[in-house]
Structure 1
Amino acid sequence: MSRLRIATIWLGGCSGCHMSLLDLDEWLIDLAARADLVYSPIADAKQFPPDVDLTLIEGAIASDEHRELAKTARRHSRLIIAFGDCAVTGNVTALRNPLGPARTVLQQVYIEHGDPRGVIPHEPGIVPVLLDKVVPVHQIIPVDYYLSGCPPSAPRIRALLEALIEGREPPADIRYG
C-alpha cells in the first residue's frame, strides 16, 4: 500500500487545532512512518500539491484567499475534513458577522478606533480581501467529515487519522458530510 498523503490548512482561526495535532506527541512518529505531510503551515509549503489523500482544514473562510485555498484543496484532495469548530460552524471567527459587511468592520477598526493614520490596508497581493460574511468550510466546498471541538482533542484526531489510514470508517462522533 502506498503512503497516505496528508495536508493541513489553517484559515480563519487561532491555530489551536494544529496545536492539538502536535499534541499527538510520540504517535506523530508512528504517523510519519505511514503517511507523508505534503502541505501544512507546520511544513511551510507554498503550493498546494496534487493527489492529496486527506486534507484537514482548520478555521473558517473569512477572506478571498481562504476561499481560493479551500477550493484548491477540494480539487486536489480525495477527502476533506472540517477540522475544529471554526471550520465546522464558523465559531469564534464568525463573531464578526453581526457587525456588518467587511467594509463596515474595517472602517470601525482602522478609521474610528484604531490606526492613527486612519488608513484601511488594501495592498493587493499582501492584504487579503475580507468576505462580507465569515462562513464554515462546507458553505464553500463539499466536506467529507466534520471533526468538532475547540480544539478537537488529540485522541479524537488520532482516532480519525487511524481509521482513515486503515481504510475504516471513523468513530461515530465524527459526522459525515
Structure 2
Amino acid sequence: MSKVKIATDWLAGCAGCHMSFLDIDDRIVKLMELVEFTSSPITDLKHPPKEGVTVGILEGAICNTHNVEVAKMMRERCQILIALGDCATFGNIPAMRNFCGTQEALKRAYIETESTVDGFIPDSEELGVPLDEVVAIDKVVKVDLFIPGCPPSADAIFHVLSELLAGHTPVVFPPQYFKYD
C-alpha cells in the first residue's frame, strides 16, 4: 500500500503550529508508517511535488505576494487543504497591522523602534510585496478544513490526520463555521 503524501508550509506567523505538530511526539512514528512528508519548511524539500499530494497543511496568514503564491501552489497541488492555527484561520496576530495600515506598521517596525539605528524598510523581491490587508488563507484559496488554536494542540492535529488516514472526514470545525463575511 502506498503512503499518503503530506506537504506543509508556513506563511506569516511564528511557526508555532509546526512546533505543535512536532509535539505529536512518539505518535509521529505511527504516522510515518502511513504517510510520506514530501515537503516542509523544516526539511530540505520546500515545495509540494508537481504531481501533487493528498493533504496540504498551511499555517500563518497571507501578508504579502509571496504568501499568496505559496497558498495558490499548495491549493493546486493538494487534494485536501488544511488551515492550521489561528493565523491561517482568522489572521490572528499578523492581521493586527490591519488596524494601522501596512506602511505605518513597517515604518514603526523598521524605522521608529527605540532600538533602531539608521533604520530602513526592507525592499526585496525575496520578501514579496506587502499586501494592503492581512487575510486568512480562505480569502485567497479554498480551504477544506480548519484547525483553530494558537497553536492548535498536538492532540487536535493528530486527531485530524488520523481521521483523514482512516478515510473519515474529521469533526473539528467545517469551513462554513468560519465564514464571517
TM-score normalised by L of structure 1: 0.91
Stretch deviating more after TM superposition (30-39 or 106-115): 106-115
Deviation digits for residues 67-103 of structure 1 (CA, Å, limit 9, x no counterpart): 1000000011101001011100001111111011x22
- Residue correspondence of structure 1 range 1-177 to structure 2 within 5 A: 1-50=1-50, 51-100=52-101, 102-113=102-113, 115-125=116-126, 127-171=127-171, 173-176=172-175
Q: Is the 8 A contact 1:147 1:175 kept in 2?
A: no
Indicate how the Cα distance of structure 1 residues 17 and 118 shifts in structure 2: closer, same or farther if over 3 A, else same. Answer: closer
Letter in 2 for 1:55: G
Deviation digits for residues 5-55 of structure 1 (CA, Å, limit 9, x no counterpart): 001111111111111111111110111111000010121313331211101
Indicate how the Cα distance of structure 1 residues 174 and 2 shifts in structure 2: closer, same or farther if over 3 A, else same. Answer: farther
Unaligned stretches of 5+ in structure 1? none
Letter in 2 for 1:175: P
Deviation digits for residues 117-162 of structure 1 (CA, Å, limit 9, x no counterpart): 242211233x332111110000000000011111111111111001
Indicate how the Cα distance of structure 1 residues 169 and 48 shifts in structure 2: closer, same or farther if over 3 A, else same. Answer: closer
Q: Is the 8 A contact 1:60 1:93 kept in 2?
A: yes
Q: 2 CA distance for matches of 1:16 and 1:150?
A: 8
Q: 2 CA distance for matches of 1:118 and 1:12?
A: 22
Letter in 1 for 2:143: V
Letter in 1 for 2:169: E
Indicate how the Cα distance of structure 1 residues 106 and 176 shifts in structure 2: closer, same or farther if over 3 A, else same. Answer: closer
The alignment yields a C-alpha RMSD, in angstroms, of 1.5
TM-score normalised by L of structure 2: 0.89
Indicate the SS of the match to 2:93: helix
Q: 1 CA distance for matches of 2:104 and 2:167?
A: 47
